[in-house]
A and B are shown apart, each in its own frame.
Chain A
Amino acid sequence: MSADIALVLPIVIPFVAAILAYLFRRNAEGRWISVVGSAIHLVVGLLLLMAVLQEGPVAAQMGGWPAPFGITLVADTLSAVMVVITGITALAVAIYALAEIDRPIAELGYHALFQVLIAGVTGAFLTGDLFNLYVWFEVMLISSFGLLVMGGTRAQLDAGIKYVALNLISTILFLSAIGLLYGATGTLNLADLRGAVALADPALMTMIAGLFLVGFGIKAGVFPLFFWLPAAYHTPSFAVSAVFAGLLTKVGVYALMRMFTLVFVHDVGFTHTVMLWVAVATMVVGVLGAAAQTDMRRILSFHIVSQIGYMVLGLALLTPFALLGAVFYLVHHIIVKANLFLVSGVADRIAGGTEIDRIGGLYAGAPVLAFLFLIPAFSLAGFPPLSGFWAKYVLVKASMDLSMWVVAFAALAVGLMTIYSMTKIWGRAFWKPHPGGIEPTLTSLHPAQRGAMIGPIAGLAVLTVVIGLFPEPFVAVAERAANELLDPTAYVTAVLGAPS
């Protein structure tokens, strides 16, 4: 398979699935299109990853215009891994949505919008052009707006206004930064920008880097720009909040990683130090916010913020080991976080809510669900031998290697606080008897519904355990991604051709 096809297919397939899903939205079986589309997306993503692992970074020039004039699609190991993980999350959530999304919402075009969202996320991971990245962000944003308010409850509208407002501000900052960068360097191709930024006025570049940092920081949900996230993620349907929690903020983190390893490395002492303390503050504030909440999804939303801090921390340290940790963390986090939101959806269905003071008895009534909650919850908190342990271990060790004791201590303390939140959910939602006297059981679900809800949760949990028990191949891929980020010569050569 040629590189062009391998790079284009992961973007085209969700769009085709979206069109078909929209045409068949009134058909009861139309929802399966989303599942099939996500499965094919995962397969082509895996093919792309295999190609990248064999040949190194691959690039394709759209429309035959040579870089840096045309739009380039490019995949290095990080991009390919992100596409695969997007496919995994999309498949899990699409299956879950079979059971959760009912006819009225599906007829509005839920499955089509979901596929457009996946296309936008994949495009953002694969593009090698800054303005094209902006366009993919918009594709992602507009479909996420639609998914967020679909259903139109008062809480959703309330959350939607805040989510839309703050994300649009981020978009404007991103757009202004693109304009200024183009004015200063005359190019928008990421690989070409690397050389151009090194030659430009460093003070000006640091200013523009700051704009990008704020713009992407809002998307990623870092301190002090995260307020839209816990205000919105607990209001839409559970399938939607799972895919948001898994993927959306991580696109912001990916964009930060790309820009601040490939392009803005002219003044690491300033930009990455700012990022370091932002990361520490994000970890701490997120976990403290979670401690104050009593709704499962709101607790988990604040934990997204806290975990974003770990990833940005790995980027800010900018050593091979730290970046390895950041990439590993990214993959682990997407799987675990999407899974926890799916579990909260089942809890809502069988126990009648996600407010942990008003539900209970899940351990006695649904031990399978309790077990499936424990795996991602312990993984999130960093218990060995689950995936989160390795992710946290690498980042803590990387900061100790640089003698950054405060940072290492903060990372460990936040891990401890995470356990507190998880035990809070466990104790009140699972262990304590249900205050309403009912016993929530999985058998209360329709068998087909039960399969579609528990299947993806179990699949993602197995993945967490596999990554935890056999981390070597995953660490090897993450290490390769980190090395390519730190030395993007192969990336630049793939896009621009060998330097003459």
Chain B
Amino acid sequence: MEPLVAIMVGALTAGAVYLMLARNVLRFLFGLILISNAANLLIFASGRLTPESPPLVPYGADVPPPGVANALPQALVLTAIVIGFGLFAFALVLVYRGYQNLGTLDSDEMRIAEPKE
């Protein structure tokens, strides 16, 4: 299971880097979505993958049975997804406002703050 996730993380990262190297800011943002999901999967896999054994405590017991999935990385991933979602929403609105006011999505043409001499 882990090798499969590892390959997926690699593929997502490769695609993300390809998109993020583009001058178009919107493509950069799409790359950002991919790479943040790659990071989330990475954390998820770091807790080791144990399919079909959810981290649940059986009725009447105090501790879960041995061999259940590690719940901590799942909690971390949930936090990271929520934060990532918020940041991405902000970035999307920012780029949209930037497109309205600057009239371009090409990062090379964004020279208002740093004008050429």
Contacts and interface: CB of A to CB of B under 8 A. Distances in A.
A143 to B, nearest CB: 11
A161 B110 contact: yes
Nearest to A149: B94
B20 to A, nearest CB: 8
Given A164-B94, A176-B42, A182-B46, A157 B87 contact: no
Nearest to B110: A158
B94 A160 contact: yes
Contacts, number: 103
B42 A179 contact: yes
Contact of A157 (B36, B83, B101): B101
A152 B96 CA distance: 12
Nearest to B98: A157
Size band of the interface chain B makes with A: 35 or more
| B interface SS class | helix
A175 B95 contact: no
Most buried by B among A145, A152, A183: A183
B42 A155 contact: no
Nearest to A174: B39
Interface in B25-53: 25, 28, 32, 35-36, 38-40, 42-43, 45-48
Interface string A126-148: 00000100110010011001000
Interface residues of A, number: 36
A1 interface: no
B96 to A, nearest CB: 10
B11 interface: no
A183 B47 CA distance: 6
A159 B79 contact: no
Most buried by B among A138, A165, A232: A165
Contact of B83 (A138, A155, A179, A234): A138
Contact of B76 (A131, A161, A234, A235): A131
Interface string A166-210: 001101100110111011000000000000000000000000000
A161 B94 contact: yes
Contacts of A182: 43, 46-47, 72-73, 76
A450 interface: no
A59 to B, nearest CB: 20
Given A158-B102, A172-B39, A164 B90 contact: yes
B43 A158 contact: no
Contact of B98 (A141, A158, A180): A158
A145 B32 CA distance: 17
A424 to B, nearest CB: 16
B55 to A, nearest CB: 14
Contact of B86 (A134, A142, A183, A234): A142
A230 B32 CA distance: 23
| A interface SS class | helix
B53 to A, nearest CB: 18
A162 interface: yes
B90 A145 contact: yes
Contacts of B91: 164-165, 168
Interface string B68-94: 000011001001100100110011001
Contacts of B7: none
A25 B111 CA distance: 34
A178 B112 contact: no
B113 interface: yes
A341 B39 CA distance: 37
B98 A162 contact: no
B42 A161 contact: no
A160 B94 CA distance: 8
Contact of B87 (A159, A168, A178, A230): A168
Contact of A138 (B42, B87, B111): B87
A179 B46 contact: yes
A158 B113 contact: yes
Given A142-B90, A157-B98, A162 B110 contact: yes
Contacts of A169: 20, 32
Nearest to B79: A135
B42 A231 contact: no
Contacts of B79: 131, 135
A235 B45 contact: no
A446 interface: no
17 contacts: A142-B87, A149-B94, A154-B101, A157-B102, A158-B111, A158-B112, A158-B113, A165-B25, A175-B40, A176-B38, A176-B43, A179-B46, A179-B73, A179-B76, A182-B72, A183-B46, A235-B113
Given A131-B79, A164-B90, A175-B43, 5 more contacts: A138-B83, A156-B113, A157-B101, A172-B36, A180-B42
In the A-B complex, the 8 residue pairs with the closest CB atoms: A183-B46, A179-B43, A159-B113, A158-B112, A179-B42, A158-B113, A155-B113, A157-B98
